[in-house]
Amino acid sequence: MSHVPETPVALLHGVGLDAGMWEPVRDALKRDSVALDLPGHGQQPALTAPTSLAELAEDVLARLPQQSHLVGFSLGALIAQYIARFHPDRVATLTCVNSVCRRTEEESRAVMARLASAEDDFPATVEASIDRWYTGTSVPKSVVEATRRTLAGNDIGSFVHAYRVFATGDAIIGPELGSISVPTLAVTGELDPGSTPDMTHRLTEAIPGAKSLVVPGARHMLPVQDADVLAGAINDFIQESEGERT
């Protein structure tokens, strides 16, 4: 009997970060995984011109396994939603981690203000992000410093191009969410001020059959702060969806 290769987990990070943020989750996953750098991040060339959610998704799609359990965090979640909507044959399951969804006018104004701040004073944006993501958590200082170094190391123009997609991409994919047909899990932190529990509930209401999980005490960097909890949720969700297919 021929062995059917296991469908891997593919992990997409958030704006200003890189594939390395997933290491704690990958260690706790029960299956093969691959973490990709988004365009303009990590080992990928800097973005030198405005881009779109569709362009980012097409770039990622070209580097993804033929089919995967797709997990996206923050900007990565918007890209994952786009791929699940328009290339469902490539996605076995979709997990959206700390994802924004259908921002209100007030939420849109807040993120556009952060975009303007990134253009005007990038070092201040780095510090504001670290504060928003980690303040009040027990994440070790060395891990927080590693995140700060990754953020500060960004090409500023490239970061701004990517952040603009993050700030506006939910308005692009929002109207399409009802057409996503793959099994979907939406996860966020109880204390995430930007990708709020409300947004996770909006996602599960928009995507047919989607499930939600809000992790108590977690902020935005859930994959770092509570890697075991997140990996456990992904493992359980994949196992459950595979059981429903057999």
pLDDT for the residue 3: 54
Q: Is the pLDDT of residue 155 over 90?
A: yes
- Give the Cα separation of 241 and 187 in Å (integer): 16
Please give the average per-residue pLDDT across 62-72, as a whole number.
97
Q: Is the pLDDT of residue 245 over 90?
A: no
pLDDT for the residue 5: 75
Longest dimension (CA), the chain: 61
Please give the average per-residue pLDDT across 203-231, as a whole number.
97
DSSP bridge partners of 69 = 9, 93
Report whether 91 contacts 84 (CB < 8 A). Answer: yes
Within a 13 Å sphere around the CA of 46, how many CA atoms are in the beta-carbon half? Answer: 9
Report whether 187 contacts 95 (CB < 8 A). Answer: yes
230: tokens are 């997140």
Report whether 94 contacts 70 (CB < 8 A). Answer: yes
- Give the Cα separation of 226 and 187 in Å (integer): 12
Domain limits of the chain? 9-245
- Give the Cα separation of 136 and 59 in Å (integer): 36
pLDDT for the residue 104: 96
Written out in words, the top-level CATH class of the domain with range 9-245 is alpha beta
- Give the Cα separation of 45 and 222 in Å (integer): 27
pLDDT for the residue 243: 81
pLDDT in tens, 179-202: 999 999 999 999 999 999 999 999
Percent of the chain with pLDDT over 70: 97
pLDDT for the residue 206: 98
pLDDT for the residue 2: 46
